[in-house]
Structure 1
Amino acid sequence: MVSLLCCGPKLAACGLVLSAWGVVMLVLLGIFFHAHSAVLIDDVPFTEDDFKDGPERIYRLYEQVGTNCFIAAAFYAVLGGFSFCQNRLNKRKEYMVR
């Protein structure tokens, strides 16, 4: 029988915790970027030419970075689902009789 188990219980638990934290942090960052938070201006990749068009170009860059944060949060959620499945498989393995 082929086993889908590829992580130990500690690695699966660590992946689950890190994924949960990553999803929360990146979703909050994405929300703040879409709200055009002035504190995050250092993280927006702009040039001098972007200021000539007015604030619309800077707002689009804010929203682009916010969308990237949401995409990264989705990747963390997928990794969290994988870690959750590995954790469940490890629990099932503990109760199996050999």
Structure 2
Amino acid sequence: MVSLLCCGPKLAACGIVLSIWGVIMLVLLGIFFNVHSAVLIEDVPFQESDLFDDPKPPTKLYGLYEQVSYNCFIAAAIYVVLGGFSFCQVRLNKRKEYMVR
């Protein structure tokens, strides 16, 4: 029987906690970027030419906001996958502990 156990119970539990926090944080950031929050303007990658040379400056800037928003949602999905992996590790550790007894 091949065991897919690669981390201990404490590390797996830590992975679950960090994944939950990462998903919550990144989903909230994605929502705030999606509604074009002015507070997050420093995190949007734009140059002065995006604002002053464009005849419709908000359109290009809003597109950059939405791109950052999509990146946050993709990162949150990766955290969900890693959280699922950590959950599986916790279950495998519990089964191993049960089999030893």
- Per the alignment, residue 30 of structure 2 pairs with 30
TM (normalized to structure 2)? 0.94
- Per the alignment, residue 76 of structure 1 pairs with 79
CA distance in 2, matches of 1:58, 1:21: 29
TM (normalized to structure 1)? 0.97
Cα shift at 1:65:
0.2
Cα shift at 1:97:
3.7
- Per the alignment, residue 59 of structure 1 pairs with 62
Q: Secondary structure of the equivalent of 2:21?
A: helix
Q: Secondary structure of the equivalent of 1:25?
A: helix
CA distance in 1, matches of 2:100, 2:25: 41
Alpha-carbon displacement from aligned partner over 1:16-69 (angstroms, at most 9, x marks no partner)? 000000000000000000000000000000001110321000000000000000
- Per the alignment, residue 50 of structure 1 pairs with 50
Cα shift at 1:11:
0.5
Q: What letter is aligned with 2:11?
A: L
The aligned length equals 98
CA RMSD of aligned residues (A): 0.9
- Per the alignment, residue 16 of structure 2 pairs with 16
Cα shift at 1:74:
0.4
Q: Does 1:94 align with 2:97?
A: yes
Dislocated runs of 4+, deviation >2 Å: none
Q: Secondary structure of the equivalent of 2:91?
A: helix
CA distance in 1, matches of 2:100, 2:33: 52
